[in-house]
Amino acid sequence: MSWVYLILAIIMEITGTTNMKLSQGFTKTLPSILVFVFYIISFAFLTLALKKLDISITYAIWSGVGTALIAAIGVLYFKEPVTAIKIGSLALIVIGVVGLALVEQHTSPTS
């Protein structure tokens, strides 16, 4: 269940961050409110995930996957430019997250 909580925390974090962009510097009321709502929910799920998972790996996965997904949303939805360096850097993040997830699964008997 800890991995489910982590996935939900990531989804809430990227939703909050997307609303940060949509808030246009906190000038749009609804997206501005949603930033805080989704981040509070994200931290709640992250806290639940940390009951069983190591903080070092959990936080790295939460932030790394969130970073990669937000970058993808930026390119696909907000039409941000794509460069070879951006793609390569995101690939390194994904490789790191996969490696950390594999380490966590093999070393944590409580997950």
pLDDT in tens, 33-70: 999 999 999 999 999 999 999 998 899 899 999 999 99
Domain count of the fold of the chain: 1
Q: What pLDDT does residue 111 have?
A: 46
By C-alpha distance, which of 4, 3, 102, 6 is closest to 62?
Answer: 6
- Phi, psi for residue 101 in degrees, rounded to 5: -65, -40
Q: Whose CA is closest to 64, among 108, 22, 99?
A: 99
User: Domain range for residue 10?
Assistant: 2-107
Q: 89: burial class by Cβ within 10 Å (0-12, 13-18, 19+)? A: middle
Which amino acid appears at position 72 of this protein? A
Residue 110's pLDDT band (cuts 50, 70, 90): low
Model confidence at 107: pLDDT above 90: no
